[in-house]
Copies of this chain bind each other. A is one copy, B any other.
Amino acid sequence: MKTNETETVQSVERAIELLYCFTTRTPELSLNDIVKRTGLNRTTVFRLLSSLMKKELINKNAAMNTYRLGLPFIHFAQIVTENLDLRKMALPIMNELNEITKETISLNIIQGASRICIEKLEGKEDIRQFINLGIPYPLYKGASGKLLLAFSKDELIEEVIEGSGLTKNETAELKKDLLLFQEQGFAFSMDERIIGAFAISTPILNSQQQLIGGLSISGLSARLDNNKQLFIKAAIQSAEKLSAMMGYQKLGG
């Protein structure tokens, strides 16, 4: 069997074709409806539907022997839109921050037990903080990582600490930082992950008050001096604007 184009799995493709049969106009389909629409064998459709049902992508309306799309799609869509929106909506705000600070701006998310940068704007100064897109960095080091960790669930924090190889003292130090960052709503570091560099990082939250990413300013420590308060203020404002766009609402007092 020649497969120059990348190989695919027939049954999976067919199963997805079933999903595409459902539309706003036709949200409920009988087995036979699907057979007609796809042209597949009745038995095959039945088996594919069973598989989709087992994994909850399809629900059966027993009363009328029809099938419809399952609840997990709502969750999947949330994942898609959240990240789609985050990146898209972040860019103009990152640009603003970049104009104000002239430093490198980055957008980070948690990936497993690491942090990765999913978007960056390099600084305008001759000596810039360089950032790699998509490379995993530890969550227990540097402002960007620790900020994300500070707003994460305790389980993740424990998991990260375990895998970090930090000493007891270092762990205590880290936990103190996390608490501080949580309280003040931003993270600051200097000469920590990279000697000679500073970073300020702020949390982006969604409508359920969950962390979905972090916005960071980073640059040369030497340039920070009189700008620190300004940068922090700008970073917080930007993150709050982004959070609002992602549906976050500040809890009223």
Contacts and interface: CB of A to CB of B under 8 A. Distances in A.
Interface in A44-65: 47-48, 50-52, 54-55, 57, 61, 63-65
A111 interface: yes
A167 interface: no
A74 B8 CA distance: 24
How many copies altogether? 2
A66 interface: yes
A185 to B, nearest CB: 20
Q: How large is the interface on A (under 10, 10 to 19, 20 to 34, 35 or more residues)?
A: 35 or more
Contacts of A209: none
Contact of A8 (B13, B50, B65): B50
A222 interface: no
A140 B68 CA distance: 25
A72 B15 CA distance: 14
A94 to B, nearest CB: 17
The winner among A15, A48, A212 for most chain B CB atoms within 10 A is: A15
A9 B11 contact: yes
Interface stretch (A20-28, A98-106, A195-203, A236-244): A20-28
Given A24-B82, A73-B73, 8 more contacts: A7-B47, A9-B15, A11-B12, A17-B55, A20-B72, A24-B210, A27-B80, A28-B134
7 contacts: A8-B54, A9-B15, A13-B55, A16-B57, A33-B111, A33-B112, A65-B134
